[in-house]
Each structure stands twice: as C-alpha cells, then as structure tokens.
Amino acid sequence: MPDLLLELLSEEIPARMQGRATEDLRKLVTERLVDAGLVYEGAKAFATPRRLTLYVQGVPARQPDLREERKGPRLGAPEVAVQGFLKSAGLSSLANATIQRDPKKGDFYVALIEKPGRPAIEVLAEILPIVIRTFPWPKSMRWGSGRLTWVRPLHSIVATFGPETEEPDIVPFSVDDIAVGNATSGHRFMAPKAIRVKRFDDYARKLEKAKVVLDPARRKDTIAHEARQLAFAQGLDLVEDDALLDEVAGLVEWPVVLMGTFDAAFLAIPGEVIRSTIRNNQKCFVVRRGSQEGSSPVGTHGAAPQGGMTNGLAPKFILVSNIEATDGGASIIAGNERVIHARLSDAKFFYETDLKTRLEDRLHKFQGIVFHEKLGSQWERIERIGLLAAELAPLVGADVELAKRAALLCKADLLTEVVGEFPELQGVMGRYYALAQGEDDSVARACEEHYKPIGPSDRVPADPVSVAVALADKIDTLVGFWAIDEKPTGSKDPFALRRAALGVIRIVLDNGLRCRLSNLIEGYLVHLRLEPREGTEPVGEAAPRSRPGAAGFSDGLLGFFADRLKVQLREQGARHDLVDAVFALEGQDDLLLIARRVEALAGLLDSTDGQNLLAGYKRATNIIRIEEKRDQTRYAGAADPTLYRQAEERELAQAIGAAEAEAKDAIAREDFAAAMSAMAKLRPHVDSFFERVTVNLEGGEEEKKVRVNRLKLLNQIRTATLAVADFSRIEG
C-alpha cells in the first residue's frame, strides 16, 4: 500500500516546542485519515530545528465505497417533506426510492445511497492544507503578505504519496504562495542545495548525506555518547543533564561535540552556580573530576553539603556545535570561552557580594514584600513558619532552637544576588551561605531541603530539622490558602497546594512520623494573625472562634489530604477505595496509621477469607438496608440472646463479640494485621448463618420478634467491621 511523506521546512523552531509539535502533526493527520475511512498501518513524526516530518505507512490507495440506507417520510406525506427527502438523498424522483413495509408504523420511503470512495491522494490534498493552516503552535507569527501563521516563516512543503515499487505522486495542494513539491534542502550551511526526494527511506538517506540527522533520539544519543567519550579521554565525568540534552538536541541538525576551558579560579564559587551559569547562558554541559582522582567537593567554604555536587567540577565544559568547522571548531570554542568567562565573572562577583551580608541581616526587607494580599508579608509568613517548626520539632525529634533558627533563615537567600540571577538555586544557595557564616549543619541543610520534595521523583528530607521546617512551610501554605478560600479547582492550582499536600504526605510516610493532621490544622489557625481587609471576612485570631469553622474547615482540608493520599498510595499499588474505607472511620487523620491500615486491609482482602467476609458483609448490609427502608425503622442495638433459635445464631453472636474485642485490642497495640485477622475469623460463621438461618420469618408475634432480632444480629456484623474499616466504601 502507498506511504505518505510530509515535510514542513521553516526557519528555526524553538527546541521546547518540537516534541509537542511532532505529536500534534501525527495526531492531526492520522485522525483525519481515519475519519475519512483511510485506516493506516503506522505513523512516525520527527523534528529538527528547521523541519517537521511525518511518515505514514500503509495508507489505502482509495477510500472504501459507502452504501447507506436513508429513511424517508411515510407514503402520503406532504409534498414539502417528500421534496426535502429527495434533495437530501440526491434522488431525482420517488421512482428512485424503495418502499419499506411496516404494518405497525406504516409504509415509508427508503433511499439507497451508494457513494464510491475517492482516491486517497485527493483526500490528502484536502486534509493537509487544513492541518497546516490550523496547526496549534503555542506561539505563531505571520510574515510577508500571506495569511498563513506558523511558528517561524515556512519555506517549503514536501508531500509525496505512493507505493514503494512506483514513483510517488506529489500531493496537489498549496498553502498561501507555497506550492507542494518533492524538493527540500539539507543543512543550512554545509549542504544548502535543493534535494529531490521520493519516499521516506530515500528522504532520510539523502538528508543524512546532507548533514541532517532527522531522528531527535539519534541526535540525543550521539551528543550523550560523544560528550561522555570526550570527558573520559580527559579523565573527567560528564555531569548528566537530561533536560539540557533534550534542548540541545533540538538546537542542532548535525551535532558536533567540542570541549572548552574556563579559568580554574572560578572553581572557588559553588559548583551549582558554575553549572547554572554555563547551562543557562550557553547551553553547555559541565564536567567534573573523575572519581578515580578523589577530588574534593565543590566550593571553598567548607565541604559541599548533602544534596550538592558530589565531586568537584573541572575547569572545562562541553558544547555542541551545529557545524563541522574547517578549523576543527577552534573559533567556536574560543567564542564560547569568552562568553562563559564574562558570565562566570559576573557570577563570582554576585557570590562574593552575597557573602558579605549575613542572612539574618537581609530579613528586614521581607517586611515590605507581600506574600499574599490576604496572608500578609513574607516576614509574617516566616514568623508563622518559625512558630509551627518549634511546635513540630519535638514530634519529629529535632532540636527546637535549631528548628527555629532554620525557619528564620530558610527564605533569606531569596534576597541574594545569585538567586536573583538564577532562581532555580533558591535553597541551594541558602545552604552555602549558612555554612559560610558558621551555622549548624542541620540549619544549613534545612535551608535547602525545606522546599523538598518538589516532585514525585524528588528526595524527601530526612534530617529532623529539615523535616520540621519543611512540614511547617507546607502546612502554612495549605492552611493559609485554604483559610482564604483559594482552593484548587479542576486542573487549576496556582498556589501548588496539591504539591504541598503530597509533600506533607511523603515526608510523614517516608520518615515514619506520627501526627494528627486535624490537630496541626486547627492549632495552626491561631498563627494566622491577619487584619481583615476591606470586603473580606476576618481570619485567624481576628475572627470569631466559629469562623472559618474549625470542624468544617478541618474536614474540608482533611478531605483534600485524603484525595492526595489516594494518589500517593495508588502509585504504590494500593486501591483508592481502601483509602476511603479507612479515612471514613472517625478520627482517622494520622497519615502513617492510615497507610498501615490500608496495607493491612489490602492483605485481608487478598485472602479468600477476606473476600468471603466482604461478600457476607455486603449481603448482610443489603438485607438490612432493604428491611429498614420497608419497615421505616433502624435495626440498631444488640441482639437478644434469649430469642436465638438456632445454633448458628449463637455461634455468630459469640464470634462477633470475640472478633470485635480482639480487633480493638490489636488496634490499641497498632497491630493492624492482627486486627484484620480477627475480622477474618468471622467468615465461617457468617457463611454458616446465611446457609442455615432464614432472616425474614413470617408468622405471628413471636416470629416477628425473632426476625427483628436476626436483623439486629446482622447489623452487629456491620458494627463490628467498623473497628478496622468502613466496608461499605470497599468496591467489589
């Protein structure tokens, strides 16, 4: 079957847009092909800095013929309805229609419409211009006198269609004044002449000869391999950077890896500053001394703290050129070295200037910086974090004074020159400056780690001081924005509250911390000392004690935590309904115990006894629900032993009492596996009860009493299981 080759050649496409653009191009074209009845075999899209390419394999040569029956009006219908039917069906008269007999609804006209399929190349000539004109670039521009908008000026379009064994045809269309052809060009500088291409294999081969590597994955592999080899040859290690690798692969069509040098005197500044300077300004990689050299940590102000660069950087960098220069790249290297020297000089000046001012001496500036209109200044927020960090310190095993000191200093580096230039180094620089001024190692570490974890793959702080400040920072964010009703909605979360909640959960679970969320939330409200703004209600101490409604406020935020905990536990393989079943129990807001309960509940339900117990529970609750609805009463309370008529009733009652007592004792010891095992012992007695006992007896007053008693006994199953979880929330 024929294949489609489409290339859109333009000026340079920003690297950050290329990945999304290839997926959009593939999706937009293939979806329209399928809608047109042209089901293809496979499709691949590629991007270089100058071109988007799509290769669609196995496209049918023509659309399938369509045969459709269209129902018309009844016989004897008004002439207007008949004429409308004929027009819509494309018939000249009723003689071309058939009559379908229906003894119930009456006879009506039916038109048989046969629509022959069109050649695929004609369909493509309609589809491709639409895709090009409506392509969803994040930003686009218009040039010259044309009306087409594109990310950068579009120069040419290649679109060929045909089988491997024949000369492909050019898809006949044009966009503005750009006519489709079969000619493209290679590398802008090394092979700018026109290239005639046929199908994809021919196209890719000729581009390779013209110094263009079409596949971005190949360009990435080439850059990474040659960079590692170049570093290894010098006894160095490449500092891996996947994000930079993706970006650089989108900047070159023919990657040439080179190594440059900078003044070793710049190694006196932290490695992270050097790396950010070289990375951000020149899109170059840094290297470090190989592990075999036993190099010292980066920087001169003490050992590199945990989380910093583990080996000292070498005074070299790796750049990726887009050209094979006649001088071997010497001029390119020299140009990059001049720029990097100037940038590192600036960075060194910023760093040395920052060291002259102690962190605490910067804090007064926060009094004039608004954190949020309704939550006060950054200084007020720092005070709140300090108060909560001091309260949390004993709970997490941290020194109270160190926690207060870390909370005071943790945001100070936001006012430094280096962080102003490189915002991504916030926290990291706080750690360096804290060590440089002689702060305790735990305080310095907390300056960096209190932001963590930032994402699902980020590490979780483990030092007690870092844990205390990190929790305080995130709880201040959550409670504060929740109190002013700035909650996430749908996909919008401008203040990253979901991330903050997940951060709290990961810190608590990974460090095995015991704390009641409701106590933290309700207790922390008193730290929100805000004056009510015009048109707003007061919050915190300025508010009446009923506002924002401690119970309702806490419940809403706890529910938010529950949703985030489901996400976290689901990623670890847990079922969301089991989290619901545990969270539904009154007073369940200890995240660590919830996780342990969920784990134990999952273990129970993975067993045959657990599955059968759940089935028995659901059967019992269904019976009770139906009977309570019918009788308009609740069958609560203990069953009367004197009304038991069968041994199975007495055995079930005894088993419920024993299991409930055993489960409660196990829960008091926080042995949730034992509590679940106690519940599992109910299974044979529940099964036996349903096999041999009739619940809904019919007869006189005595039988009615027995029926009510048996319903109460079934309700005791429901009550007993609440010791471990709310089984009504469990699916299945």
Helix (H) and strand (E) counts for the chain? 24, 20
The reported pLDDT for the residue numbered 538 is 40
Residue type, 599: E
- Express each pLDDT in 629-663 by its tens digit: 888 888 888 888 988 889 999 999 999 999 889 98
Give the torsion through C-alpha atoms of 202, 207, 213, 217, to 10 deg.
Answer: -30
- Poorest-confidence range of 302-316, 319-333, 394-408? 302-316
- Determine contact, residues 21/137, Cβ cutoff 8 Å: yes
Q: Mean of the pLDDT values across residues 125-137?
A: 96
The span from the CA of 667 to the CA of 597, in Å, is 9
At 566, which helix (H) or strand (E)? helix 550-571
Phi, psi of 283 (to 5 degrees): 55, 40
Residue 578: how many other CB atoms lie within 10 Å:
25
Residue 525 has pLDDT above 80, yes or no: no
Return d(Cα 260, Cα 227) in angstroms, integer. 12
Q: Specify burial of residue 567 (Cβ count, 10 A radius: 0-12, 13-18, 19+).
A: middle
* Confidence band for 485, pLDDT divided at 50, 70 and 90: confident
Alpha carbons 501 and 475: distance in angstroms, whole number: 8
Confidence band for 386, pLDDT divided at 50, 70 and 90: very high
Range of 1-5, 513-517, 555-559 with top mean pLDDT: 1-5
Top-level CATH class of 3-62+120-209?
alpha beta
Average pLDDT of 279-303? 67
Peptide bond into 2 cis (omega under 30): no
> Is pLDDT of 707 > 90?
no
Query: Could you tell me the two tokens for 632?
Result: 């308009």
Give the other-Cβ count within 10 Å of 654's Cβ: 12
Q: Tokens 């005071």 correspond to what residue?
A: 408
Contact 50, 9 (CB under 8 A): yes
pLDDT confidence tier of residue 291, bands split at 50, 70 and 90: low
H/E stretch holding 100 reads strand 98-100
Residue in this structure with the two tokens 């847009």, named with its chain if needed:
17
Is residue 310 pLDDT above 60, yes or no?
no
Is the pLDDT assigned to residue 306 strictly greater than 60? no
Whether the per-residue pLDDT at 301 is higher than 60: the answer is no
- Name the token pair of 42: 């496979």
How far does CA 24 lie from the centroid of its chain? 20
| Helix (H/G/I), strand (E/B), else coil: 662 | helix
pLDDT per position as a tens digit, 663-705: 889 988 888 888 888 888 888 888 898 888 888 877 788 888 8
Report, at the CATH architecture level, how domain 607-729 is classified. Orthogonal Bundle (1.10)
Q: How far apart are CA 726 and CA 732, in angstroms?
A: 14
For 400, list phi and psi in degrees, rounded to 5. -60, -45
Buried/exposed 200-219: b ≥16 CB within 10 Å, e otherwise: bebbbebbeebbbbbebeeb
**Is residue 147 classed as helix, strand or coil in its secondary structure?**
coil
554 Cβ contact partners less than 8 Å away, ≥ 6 residues apart: 518, 521, 522
Q: Is the pTM of this model over 0.85?
A: no
pLDDT at 547: 40
Instruction: Kindly write down the DSSP assignment for every residue of 518-530, as one continuous string.
Output: HHHHHHHGGG---
Q: Where are the strands (E) in 322-420, listed by range?
A: 370-372, 376-377
3 state SS of 322? coil
Provide the residue ranges of all domains of the chain, joining segments of one domain with +.
3-62+120-209, 67-115, 216-355, 360-597, 607-729
Q: What is the pLDDT of residues 438-470, one digit of tens each?
A: 999 999 999 999 999 988 889 999 999 999 999
> What's residue 59's pLDDT?
95
Q: Is residue 300's pLDDT more than 80?
A: no
Averaged over 238-255, what is the pLDDT? 96
Say if CB 363 and CB 382 are below 8 A apart: yes
Q: Could you tell me which of 669, 502, 517 has the C-alpha nearest to residue 590? A: 517
Euclidean distance between CA atoms 183 and 191, whole angstroms: 13
Pairing of strands 194-196, 141-142: unpaired
Residues 6+ apart with CB under 8 A from 361: none
